[in-house]
Amino acid sequence: MKTLKPHRKIQGSLSLPGDKSISHRAALLALMCGEPVRTHNYSDGADCASSLKAVEALGCKVEQDGANTLLILPAETLTTETAKIDCGNSGTTARLLAGILSGLDITAEISGDESLSQRPMKRIVEPLRELGARFKSVADGESDKEPSSLPLAILGGAHGDIEYRMPVASAQVKSAILFAACAGGGQAAIIEDVRTRDHSERMLQHFGATIETQHPRVELKEDERDPRKKTRTVLDDWKLRIVVKGNGKLSGGDVDIPGDISTAAFFFAAAAIGKGEVTIENLGLNPTRTAFLDHLKAIGCEVHVENRVTISEEPRGTVTVKGGKLKGRKISGALAAQLIDEIPIVAVMACFAEGATLIRDVAELRVKECDRLEALIENLRLIGAKVGSVEEDGIVIEAKGEMQPADFVSHDDHRIAMALSIASLFLAGESTIDNAECVAVSCPRFYEMLDSIKH
């Protein structure tokens, strides 16, 4: 148990560890690179360490190259024996690695911890099989049975072409398909109706892949009733189409990783609730990841961005958030998909806002490290908020006066633990939380950094 003491005055500046999503991709794509990959500000979280261990197990070497730089050296020959790779708690490692290995024809068995072994893998197995990949369940050994979870064996074969319309918004599934086609020499065209984070597309381009992002075609015609006007017709029924043509090789090179905006969300939320001010430098500002900053503005905060620059294809800058009088908001559809990792802290902020916050279309939260919707309902009720589920894909939250201290249950989920730790700052007394160490999955120094902005 960790004791969490209230502390309402929040102010300070931070520099954060590297973005998790970008770190994973830099490590895993090194398997296809002909030159070393040098990463600056690689994430220090346990999940990203799983990706480093995976590439080492396959023959790459990982070396420290200065205080904050890692050098990933390509293997002269990737392992030809069946590699056994433990992905720990990292779904990103498991899904993206499955795509790469199926294209490289490397036989491997992928496993994970108890939590990861319960998370769905059928969502990548189905499209990768369309590319020609072969899998079998390690548990029952049947190659003709479609594995739905870890552990699973990858048998290679992804050398075909695919046009795949994403049934659910998922950057991990999209990336697994793109990486498989890139490794296997085929072509993949991914159609997105809801835009997802595009770190994979940016890094593939940075490493020299042939990749194109297409937008819907638009036709302009003169208005029959008024020749001075034109009518606009969208000819395609999708939002984005991403096409990659693979040849099995990437160039490698330097990758400068900005601070993780999903981690920043917790510190910004502390400023928001406490009417304080927090500044974070070198923060990732990829436009597919900045919905949380827009959310802060929408609920009553000030957000200022300075020193914008793009390095290694990824925009970043200095962001300052000033808290204010918070209000409830409805979140659904594409916005819910863009905020999926930040929903736990969005829900916590709702407990300190005027009016109700309704969050819909987030069923994906039920298959994360835990059932995050149920974890939020359970814990936020403990502090006195009015919280309920909305069908199977949503939650509604409303404040009910001063929030009370509680004995929180983290469910071994790093984002739940961090969100509840922020809530504890603004309660009427001391709280506790079990297994606070699980924050190390994404941010081992979370509590140290949180202490630094308490004033």
Confidence of residue 145 (pLDDT cuts 50, 70, 90): low
Model pLDDT, residue 144: 52
Say if CB 292 and CB 261 are below 8 A apart: yes
Beta-sheet strands, E only, within 131-260 = 135-137, 152-154, 161-165, 187-192, 210-214, 218-222, 230-234, 240-245, 253-256
Q: Where in the chain is CATH 3.65.10.10?
A: 2-17+258-452, 20-216+235-256
Please say if the pLDDT value at position 428 is more than 80.
yes
Q: Give residues with Cβ within 8 angstroms of 138, minimum separation 6.
A: 109, 111, 151, 152, 153
**Residue pLDDT, tens place only, 247-259:** 989 999 999 999 9
Model pLDDT, residue 140: 64
Distance between CA atoms of 156 and 57, rounded to whole angstroms? Answer: 17
Please say if the pLDDT value at position 334 is more than 80.
yes
Say if CB 250 and CB 28 are below 8 A apart: no
**Other residues' Cβ atoms within 10 Å of the Cβ of residue 306:** 10
Sign of CA dihedral 162, 287, 443, 431: negative
Distance between CA atoms of 358 and 368, rounded to whole angstroms? Answer: 20
Distance between CA atoms of 199 and 151, rounded to whole angstroms? Answer: 27
341 among known catalytic residues: yes
pTM, 2 dp: 0.95
Q: Distance from first CA to last CA of the chain, Å, rounded? A: 24
Distance between CA atoms of 312 and 145, rounded to whole angstroms? Answer: 41
Q: Give residues with Cβ within 8 angstroms of 437, minimum separation 6.
A: none
> Which three-class secondary structure state does DSSP give residue 398?
strand
Say if CB 204 and CB 244 are below 8 A apart: yes
Confidence of residue 330 (pLDDT cuts 50, 70, 90): very high
Instruction: Output the CA–CA distances (angstroms, integers) from residue 384 to 261, 374, 380, 430, in the order listed.
Output: 29, 16, 7, 15
Distance between CA atoms of 7 and 412, rounded to whole angstroms? Answer: 24
**For tokens 């895993």, what's the residue?**
28
The candidate with the shortest Cα–Cα distance to 267, out of 15, 67, 46, 2, is 15
Q: What angle do CA 7, 400, 378 make, to 5 degrees?
A: 80
Amino acid residing at 50: S
At the topology level, CATH places domain 2-17+258-452 in: UDP-n-acetylglucosamine1-carboxyvinyl-transferase; Chain (3.65.10)
Say if CB 148 and CB 121 are below 8 A apart: yes
Looking at residues 149-159, what average pLDDT do you find?
Answer: 96
Distance between CA atoms of 336 and 172, rounded to whole angstroms? Answer: 17
The residue from 47, 198, 341, 412 that is catalytic is 341
Model pLDDT, residue 401: 87
Model pLDDT, residue 231: 86
- Extract the tokens encoding 140: 């029952």
Distance between CA atoms of 24 and 54, rounded to whole angstroms? Answer: 11
Confidence of residue 232 (pLDDT cuts 50, 70, 90): confident
At the topology level, CATH places domain 20-216+235-256 in: UDP-n-acetylglucosamine1-carboxyvinyl-transferase; Chain (3.65.10)
- Extract the tokens encoding 400: 């009910």
Q: Give residues with Cβ within 8 angstroms of 167, minimum separation 6.
A: none
Distance between CA atoms of 305 and 318, rounded to whole angstroms? Answer: 6
Backbone torsions φ then ψ of 395, nearest 5 degrees: -150, 145
Instruction: Output the CA–CA distances (angstroms, integers) from residue 168 to 100, 172, 186, 198, in the order listed.
Output: 21, 11, 23, 15
Model pLDDT, residue 142: 58
